[in-house]
């Protein structure tokens, strides 16, 4: 029972943190381009994790490093840039909704590639949640016809990468400490992020003369500490104490938080979107149930 309640606490906390991340990305983009934001987010997060988890690196076995590296690029490095690029054209709340494709992709990839079991009830939960997500997407497009939804492709690709990442953690890194996984990820991607930053024109007078730069750095720092460093450790823990489907269902609750932030920042929100948010919550409840008479995928 305690373990069951604990995973819900992790889910709620992660939903609040990651749901807020989208508005922080939007605000940081005022003074930074998406490549600068993605690189700085990775570098600052790495510094936080190195300070907290450098002692855990030695606990990672040699055979685990290849999975740590893949997890780092798919679960952190590439999405950090893709989400920033997407938010140059799409509202932060809509981006968070598109991110809700992660649980569906987690089940599909878990079955097809990683041979991880899922019950019929979990699949039903994902479908219900996906219906709610579809309503949110369609309504968002109607409210924002001027936005370039081609940029949604960056988020869709990222959701596939997140699905790969969560299945890797569950299948190959189950016995590695969550902090060690997160720290190891950034050991691998830290230098590439520095290289990217050097080619973004960040270290120029044009960048440092922007009056918005200070606040943008502040938002990136908040995003790096809470939305990436702390959240990565919490998420890795959640994957290990629950199932890949339940852990990825955090992406169904995040849009509700993101939509609230979006409304406060002047983005549109309707009663139909509120209804869709309720459908999403029902999907989360269904997808967290591991038990069932028949196992659909195994």
107-119 burial string, b = 16+ CB within 10 Å, else e?
A: bbbbbeebebbbb
- Exposed / middle / buried, residue 271 (Cβ in 10 Å: 0-12, 13-18, 19+): exposed
Q: Mean of the pLDDT values across residues 210-237?
A: 94
Quick one: pLDDT band at residue 295, thresholds 50, 70, 90? very low
Determine the Cα–Cα distance for residues 130 and 143; give it in Å rounded to an integer: 20
Q: Quick check: 109 and 163 in contact, CB under 8 A?
A: yes
- Provide the token pair at 8: 């819900």
Q: What is the pLDDT of residue 26?
A: 94
Q: What is the pLDDT of residue 297?
A: 36
Q: What would the pLDDT profile of 137-196 be if each residue is shown by its tens digit?
A: 677 667 667 777 788 889 989 988 998 898 899 889 999 999 999 999 999 999 999 999
Residue 207: which domain range?
2-297
Query: How many folded domains does the chain comprise?
Result: 1
Q: Quick check: 160 and 105 in contact, CB under 8 A?
A: yes
Q: What is the pLDDT of residue 116?
A: 61
**Whether the predicted pLDDT of 23 surpasses 70:** yes
Which parts of 144-177 fold into alpha helices (H)?
A: 152-172
**Is the entire prediction scored with pTM above 0.75?**
yes
Q: What would the pLDDT profile of 5-21 be if each residue is shown by its tens digit?
A: 788 899 899 999 999 99
**Whether the predicted pLDDT of 293 surpasses 70:** no
One-letter-per-residue 3-state SS of 193-248 = HHHHHHCCCCCCHHHHCCCCHHHHHHHHHHHHHHHHHHHHHHHHHHHHHCCHHHHH
């Amino acid at each position: 029972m305690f373990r069951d309640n604990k995973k819900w606490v992790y889910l709620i906390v992660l939903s609040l943190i990651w749901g807020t991340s989208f508005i922080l990305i939007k605000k940081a983009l005022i003074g930074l381009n998406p490549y600068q934001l993605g690189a700085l987010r990775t570098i600052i997060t790495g510094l936080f994790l190195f300070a907290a988890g450098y002692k855990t690196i030695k606990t990672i076995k040699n055979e685990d490093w290849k999975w740590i590296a893949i997890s780092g690029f798919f679960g952190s490095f590439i999405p950090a840039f893709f989400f920033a690029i997407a938010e140059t054209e799409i509202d932060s709340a809509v981006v968070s909704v598109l991110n809700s494709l992660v649980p569906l992709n987690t089940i599909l990839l878990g079955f097809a590639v990683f041979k991880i079991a899922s019950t019929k009830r979990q699949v039903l939960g994902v479908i219900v949640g996906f219906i709610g997500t579809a309503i949110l997407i369609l309504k968002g497009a109607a409210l924002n016809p001027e936005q370039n939804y081609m940029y949604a492709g960056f988020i869709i690709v990222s959701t596939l990468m997140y699905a790969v990442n969560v299945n890797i953690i569950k299948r190959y890194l189950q016995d590695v400490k969550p902090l060690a996984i997160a720290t190891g990820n950034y050991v691998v991607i830290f230098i590439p992020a520095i290289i990217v930053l050097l080619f973004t024109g960040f270290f120029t007078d044009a960048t440092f003369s922007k009056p918005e730069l200070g606040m943008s750095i502040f938002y990136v720092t908040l995003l790096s500490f809470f939305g990436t460093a702390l959240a990565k450790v919490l998420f890795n823990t959640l994957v290990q104490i629950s199932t890949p489907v339940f852990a990825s269902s955090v992406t169904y609750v995040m849009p509700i938080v993101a939509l609230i932030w979006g409304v406060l920042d002047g983005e549109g929100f309707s009663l139909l979107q509120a209804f869709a948010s309720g459908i999403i919550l029902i999907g989360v409840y269904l997808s967290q149930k591991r038990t069932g008479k028949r196992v659909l995928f195994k």
